[in-house]
Amino acid sequence: MAGRSPVPGPSAPKLEIDRQFPSEFTDSVASMRWDATTEKVLVNEAFHGLLGPSKRGTEINLSELMTPQDIARLLEKLDPKRPPMAHDHGTFLCRLIGSDEQILWLETTVCESSAKEGISCRYATFKDVTDRLTKELFFENFADSLPGIVFSYTVYPDSSHYFSYISIKTKEFFGIENREFLANPDLAFDIIEPEDLPFVRESLAESKRTMTHWKAEYRTTVKGKTRWFEGTAIPKLQPNGSVTWNGITIAIDDRKNLELELKEVASKDYLTGVFNRRYLSEFLRDQSERFDRYQERSSVILIDIDNFKAINDEHGHDFGDLVLRQFSDLVSKNVRKVDTFGRMGGEEFLIILPNTGVQSALEVGKKILRKTRSKLQTIDGIDVALTFSAGISEFSAVQSSANKVLKHADQLLYEAKSEGRNGIKTDG
C-alpha cells in the first residue's frame, strides 16, 4: 500500500488462527490476542473474514495489514506485561488493509478475559465501521462546503444542553473554532445580541413544545462586529426525553441590509427625506395602543405652512420644493430625539411626541415657530417670511384612537388658520 512503512521482519508478529478463544468471544466477533512468547498474533475466524479471500488461510505478518503506529498502539494495549488495565479500557480506531488492498476502519476495544492457568489474557475485538465513517466523512465534507453552519443541538429535560456536531464554518462566521462551541454550548447564546436573545430562546422553547420547525433571525456581536443570521432546524424527540435540532445557520447580512434599505425607502418622503404619511400613521397607531395599554400620554403637532400656494404660484414648484426641504431640515434639528417628525403631504407636517402632554408639546411648537420666523425669512435669496399654523392634540380617554387625535389636531389647525395664521392652537 503506497505510503506505508512496513515493520522490520523480526519484530513483525505473525497472524495465526486461535481455535481456543474464550467462550465470551464468539466467531461472529472479530477478535485478537497477542502471544508475547511466540510473538504471534492469534486471531479467530471472524477476524480472518475481514481480510478477504486472497489473504484468508495464509501466514501473514501484521505489518502487512496495519500501519506501524496502529500496530504499536494495539500491541501496547494487548501486552500482558503491562500493569492491570483498570481504566485503560476504552475504544479507539485502527486501520486494516483488507481485501483488494481496501482500507478498513476498525473500532477496536481491548479488554481482560477470564484468567487462564492463573494468567489473565487481554483480547481485542474489532468492529468494521468503515461504512459509518465514510458516511460521516462525506457528511462533514458536505457540511463544510455549505454556505452556513450545520449543527446538531440537544436539550435535555433538565435544561442541560450540548452540540453533538457543529461545522467548521463557525471560524469563518464568528472567528471562533467549532471545538469551542462543542466544549461550551452557552457560547452560541452568549454572542447573540441581548435585544434578540429572548426571542431566540422563546422560539426554541416553542419549537420544543410543539415539535415544529424552528426558524429565527437574530444578530450576533463578536469582537465589536455585528452580523445578521438566520437559524433553521427540525426538532426530534429522543427516547430519553431530550430534543435534538438538526439544522443550519446562514449569514443574512446582505438580505437584512436590503430589507432595511427598502424599509427606509418605504418609510421616507422622497422630497424631504423625513418620514412619510404611511410611517407616521403606523407610528401613531402604536402610540394609540400604548395609551390603551399603559395610559401613556402622547401628543401630536399638526403643522401647515402658511401661504404655501402663493409661494408656489409666484416662484414656481422647484422653489416650493426647496422651501419644503429647508423647512423639514429646520424642524428635524429642533425636535427631540424621542419625537417623530414627517410630512403628511403637500405643505402639511406632523410631529408625534411620546410621553408628552399638551403644554410640553406647545413649548416644542413655539420653539419651532420662533426658529422658522428667524431662520426662514429668506430662502435662496428670495424673501418669503415663512410661518406656519399648527394644532396640538393629546391622547385621552375621550380620544384614544389615532384617527380621533389627528382629527382633533386638524380642527385646531383650522382654527389657527382662521384666526390669522402664524400661530398654534391647543386643547387647553
pLDDT at 409 over 90: yes
**Residue-level pLDDT at 57:** 55
Q: How confident is the model at residue 10 (pLDDT cuts 50, 70, 90)?
A: very low
Among the ranges given (4-8, 154-158, 211-215), the one the predictor scored with the smallest mean pLDDT: 4-8
Q: How many separate helices (H) and strands (E) can be counted in the chain? A: 13, 18
Q: Are 133 and 117 in contact (CB under 8 A)?
A: no
The pLDDT of residue 122 is above 80: no
Q: Which of 165, 240, 241, 153 is nearest to 201 (CA)?
A: 153
The SS3 call for residue 9 is helix
Which domains occur in the chain, in start order?
A: 11-128 (3.30.450.20), 134-256 (3.30.450.20), 268-425 (3.30.70.270)
Specify the pLDDT at position 8: 36
Lowest mean pLDDT among 80-94, 166-180, 344-358, 359-373: 80-94
Report pLDDT digits (tens) over 340-362: 999 999 999 999 999 999 999 99
- Share of the chain residues as helix, strand and coil, in percent rounded to the nearest 5: 40, 30, 30
Determine if residue 220 is left, alpha or beta; phi over 0 gives left, psi from -120 to 50 gives alpha, anything else beta: beta
The region of weakest confidence among 86-95, 181-190, 324-333 is 86-95
Q: What pLDDT sits at residue 427? A: 75
Q: What are phi and psi of 426, to 5 degrees?
A: -125, 175
In the predicted structure, residue 86 carries a pLDDT above the cut 60: no
Average pLDDT, the chain: 86
Between residues 284 and 96, the one the model is more confident about: 284
User: Any residues with CB less than 8 A from the CB of 367 and at least 6 apart, and which?
Assistant: 334
Q: What is the pLDDT of residue 5?
A: 35
pTM higher than 0.85 for the full model? no
Query: Higher pLDDT residue, 57 or 13?
Result: 13
